[in-house]
Structure 1
Amino acid sequence: MRVLRFISILFNSLILFSCDPFGTKIGDEVSCFEAAEPEEVSYPDTLKVMTWNVKFGGGRIDFFFDCHGDRVIMEKEEVEQNMNLLAEKIREVNPDILFLQEVDINSKRSTFMNQVQFLLDHTALNHGVYASQWKAKHIPSDGIGKMDSGNAILCKWQLTGAKRIALPLISEQNFIVRYFYLKRNLLHANLKHSDGELNLLNTHASAYAKDNTKKQQLEIIKHYADSLNSQGLPFILAGDFNALPPNTKQTQNFDDSVCENADYDADNYSAEMDWMSPYYENYESAICLGEYSNDNLKYFTHTTDKNGFWNRKTDYLFTNKNFVSGSGVTIQDWMEASDHAPIIANYEL
């Protein structure tokens, strides 16, 4: 125990006196990308919008944090196969705007592939912006190594004014875990079109926070959307909120809650449904609350158990303008591609 305590003190001292030795600090920087062969596309009257947590091209491999397996790193062939599948599905939908969560650009676990660039080069999307959520030169735990993973917005047209808005960190973590852990964000970019400008917002809230961190994050995201709305600025807000909608029938004891390590156990969401209520009350959802309330199962978007089926909804598309009525669809047929199902909707310009 004395040895472990000494190592902990030494490690804390290293971080304190070396500023940021592992390069985990993330500022407000946003990276921009362009397809290798961008094509000029005219604006339609209606945009097809899609949001998808793509699990860093991991497909349905059982990773250690799912507690169904112990994998950390993928082989090059696995990454290429999974990314080609993602690109194939995206081409099938052919979205004009794609919101991505859990996409890697330079991580050991995904063989250092720039997945944003890959998807731009293998779909009809031309431009992208990216903001890190989990970044380090080296994470000395579980063989994770180098990491750069985050949120991205891909689009057929040029995006401008991109910025990263930092969200609160989990307060209950010890100093070392907090130093290396994910630093959540809200990614904002503007799409200028023939009739004006559309604000695009993408986020991925905390998954395992046991304190009020997730509530604070959702409140900040909502406040940011409210500020745009109060200025009469149209927006689309997308992402993995890691929270259940109101009127959800099952809120705990999911089939995939198999983790013995409570740090990676599926949440008890019962206290969190109210946190999503303001979004439904003030804005339009691609999947309206009435539809969801009538049949929860039809709109579930997440599970960690590849042998089961989707068992909860954590992914959303909201707007303060107009989704085409009835156009919202949750695509549940692609479980082999990710542990999240994508949502699509048509948006009227």
Structure 2
Amino acid sequence: MKTILKILGSLFGLILIAAVALVAWLSLREFRPEAEEFVEIKGSGNSLLQAGDSLSLVTCNIGYGGLDAEHDFFMDGGTDVRVESKEIIERNMKGIRELLEEADGDIYFLQEVDIDSKRSYGVQEAEYLLEGLEGSAVFAANFLCDYVPYPFPTIGRVHSGILTVNPYQAESAVRIALPTSFSWPMRVCQLKRCLLVERVPLEGSDKELVLVNLHLDAYDDGTGREMQTKQLVEFLNAEYEKGNYCIAGGDFNQTFSNVDPSLYPVQDRENFSPGLVEASDFGEGWQLANDPSTPTCRLLNQPYHPEDPKTQYYVLDGFLLSPNVTLNEVQTIDGEFRYTDHNPVKITVTLEK
């Protein structure tokens, strides 16, 4: 009996040492981006913009190609950590690219795009998407970790972020870090959220079109989303005061004040509880652009069953427009959640003279 206890004690000691070593290693290797970092613009847009022009934008959270209709996700109350094979990722990415091509936007704001992650079997998703979309590309990492040690099987290595594809000639692109409510050691393996800001000069003017691609916190207590939204408000208002045109879009992980909450009532807040984006917080004339006739997101508590009463829908994706940008049309494109847990949202706008 003493021998067994000694063996068990030794095993426990080894496990403890390994766990401490892993936390120490991940802490040393933690992704710590600067408050602002310039991002390389790959390729070049050929088109020019000027005041009075109209353009279209599409936003879509592609769920790294691993959150299709046949799967759930452990953070939403499901059981899946990743899909069973690389072939499923490749099938989903093909479907997502076709969906985006059919949306036929000028500018694309994409979220949860993997560069090299275990969960997506190392598929270079940004490169794949760019084969079907026209324009320059800017990518900002928001989830970079050598090894995410939970749950089992583990998530493992993650390199993921947000991608903007833009056919217009851009002057610069910057990654702006957003605050987080997570503290050490949980912070080490969490996403480091950001705004991906691209500036497009307007021909014959000293003004710019400021494009902001975003993906705000999801699984926090709401504090992170509040801080991140406040920073977004401050940034956009500062740009608008300069006379610039501002379009922010992406996955807010929040519902919107202009959408009737009874359309998609939240049945269970245990796994995911969205916040609320108030248009009034941004100031007079700012406009939220979304189409609630079709949900933009589903909860991944189970594989997709459109008729199941446990299927939870949300409107979490859309755009925010400064007062000098006129909204002409907005549409949620119904992809039936076949390849990702989000539907694309497309807007057509005009930059007022």
Q: TM-score range by the shorter chain?
A: 0.7 to 0.9
Alignment partners' CA distance in 2, 1:39 and 1:282: 30
Give the aligned partner of residue 249 of structure 1: 261
State TM-score, norm by structure 2. 0.80
Out of 10, 17, 25, the position equivalent to 2:32 is: 25
Shift of residue 32, structure 1, vs aligned partner: 3.5
Report the secondary structure of 1:109's partner residue: helix
Give the aligned partner of residue 287 of structure 2: 284
Contact 1:52-1:341 at 8 Å conserved across structures: yes
Give the aligned partner of residue 342 of structure 1: 344
Shift of residue 238, structure 1, vs aligned partner: 0.6
Distance change >3 Å, CA 21–CA 121, structure 1 → 2: same
The one-letter code matched in structure 2 to 1:254 is V
Report the secondary structure of 1:223's partner residue: helix
Contact 2:287-2:322 at 8 Å conserved across structures: yes
Contact 2:45-2:169 at 8 Å conserved across structures: no
Out of 119, 132, 138, the position equivalent to 1:109 is: 119
Shift of residue 224, structure 1, vs aligned partner: 0.5
Give the aligned partner of residue 208 of structure 1: 219
Gaps of 5+ in 1: none
Alignment partners' CA distance in 1, 2:17 and 2:186: 14
Q: Does 1:121 align with 2:131?
A: yes
Q: Does 1:78 align with 2:80?
A: no
Alignment partners' CA distance in 2, 1:161 and 1:8: 47
Out of 286, 304, 307, the position equivalent to 2:305 is: 307
Q: Give the aligned CA root-mean-square deviation in angstroms.
A: 3.2
Contact 2:45-2:170 at 8 Å conserved across structures: no
Which structure's relative contact order is higher, taking Cα pairs within 8 Å and 6+ residues apart? 2
How does 1:143-154 map onto structure 2 within 5 Å? Answer: 143-154=154-165
Out of 173, 184, 189, the position equivalent to 1:180 is: 189
Deviations 1:204-233 (A, max 9, x none): 111122152211111111111011011111
Deviations 1:36-85 (A, max 9, x none): xx885566932111111111112333232232332325522111111111
Contact 1:188-1:202 at 8 Å conserved across structures: yes
The one-letter code matched in structure 2 to 1:184 is R
> How many residues are aligned here?
326
Distance change >3 Å, CA 310–CA 9, structure 1 → 2: same
Alignment partners' CA distance in 2, 1:148 and 1:163: 18
Which contiguous aligned blocks of 4+ residues in structure 1 show a shift greater than 4 angstroms?
2-16, 28-31, 38-44, 250-253, 321-326
Contact 1:162-1:188 at 8 Å conserved across structures: yes
Q: Does 1:66 align with 2:64?
A: no
Contact 2:114-2:123 at 8 Å conserved across structures: yes
The one-letter code matched in structure 2 to 1:24 is F
Instruction: Among all aligned residue pairs of Structure 1 and Structure 2, give the percentage whose two residues are the same amino acid.
Output: 26
Deviations 1:251-285 (A, max 9, x none): 99735x49xxx5xx021x4xx43655424754123
Alignment partners' CA distance in 2, 1:187 and 1:274: 19
